[in-house]
Amino acid sequence: MLAAFGVERRMGLRCLVWLGGRLADYKAPLIAPDFDRHVPVGCFPALWTRMARALPPHDLAVLENQPVLLGLAANPFIELGGHEAPDSGYVFALPATWEEFAARNRPETRRMDRSKERRLAEQGALHFRIAATPEEAVCMAEDILERKAGQLRAQGIASIFEEPHYRAAYRALAELAPERRLLEVAELTLDGEFLSGSIAHVWHGRTTLMVHTYENSFAKFSPGRIHLLKLIKTSMEAGVSLYDLSVGYAPYKESFCQTPMPLYNYVAAAKPWGLAAAGAERARFGLKRAIKANDRLMGLLRAARAMLGRK
């Protein structure tokens, strides 16, 4: 097992955290395929006690957004307990054929999808494409990131897409040669004009949607959903078995994944003086979870963010 930890300062105390911060939707170790043979179910808490003692000095542990599954294997850190995180992950298995996948939706949903794509195609030449060369990937990725940053800015949400160093990281990944490709960059256009774009990470039979944005002026035709359906079909044709819409609720995610994967936060004091801080962290997570579970409160929060974003 490889567990990438760091120690950072929070409230003046040394806090053990997963590396990755706000850049990592899922925070967890890398484990060997036969991990459970070496550490049977139920034995990890005892191992963790020994690990925690061997780690650099820290006053409390705050291990956030831990998925219950690592691929198809159980995440051993879930055995430590904790509380469900405010957000869930939207991961679902892909069947062997497109017909099987389409059958998951109600007939009226399928009819509506076909109708919207047909009506959109009546407006002009509708074209979906995945970047075939590093040059195309870089050009498309930069445009998508700029649009996504603007979309979030309008909602009053600060994002990494505003920061040059993170843009440079995406560019470096997009520039990888085809045989080393990790990113799938795609766009949907109408008469050559942008409708929707996405950047996904593809690795070992799993596609993770990292960035997705669409043009609001065509929202009534659901270009983002049309784009996503084409992405999923392409992934199935490439032999991908798991599709990950990443962390955080959105209505469109529920239409594809009816059973979200819970994430867990583990908060524990490592020293007596970390007890108060651990309690404060649990309260913060609890408040965040309560707000996200309440549509009215979330609506007010989004409205306030958008108002601040316009100032």
Q: pLDDT tens digits, residue range 130-183?
A: 999 999 999 999 999 999 999 888 877 878 888 899 999 999 999 999 889 999
SS3 at position 151? helix
Query: What pLDDT score does 152 carry?
Result: 87
- Burial tier of 283 (Cβ tally within 10 Å: 0-12, 13-18, 19+): exposed
Could you count the other beta carbons within 10 Å of the beta carbon of residue 199? 24
The pLDDT of residue 2 is above 70? yes
Cα–Cα distance, 284 to 210 (Å, whole number): 26
Q: What is the model's pLDDT at position 159?
A: 84
Average pLDDT, integer, range 89-106: 90
By the 10 Å C-beta count (0-12 exposed, 13-18 middle, 19+ buried), 155 is classed as middle
Residue 258's φ and ψ, nearest 5 degrees, are -75, -20
pLDDT tens string 98-125: 999 988 888 898 999 999 999 999 999 9
Predicted pLDDT of residue 305: 64
Report whether pLDDT(186) > 80. Answer: yes
Q: Quick check: 8 pLDDT over 90?
A: yes
Q: Which residues contact 18 (CB under 8 A, 6 or more apart)?
A: 4, 5, 6, 24, 27, 28, 63, 64, 66
pLDDT at residue 199 greater than cutoff 90:
yes
Tens of pLDDT along 220-247? 999 999 999 999 999 999 999 999 999 9
pLDDT at position 232 is 95
Q: Give mean pLDDT, residues 34-55.
A: 94
* Dist. CA 261–CA 243, nearest whole Å: 12
Tell me the per-residue pLDDT of 265-311, one tens digit each, with 9 for 90 and over.
999 999 999 999 999 999 998 888 888 777 777 677 666 766 665 55
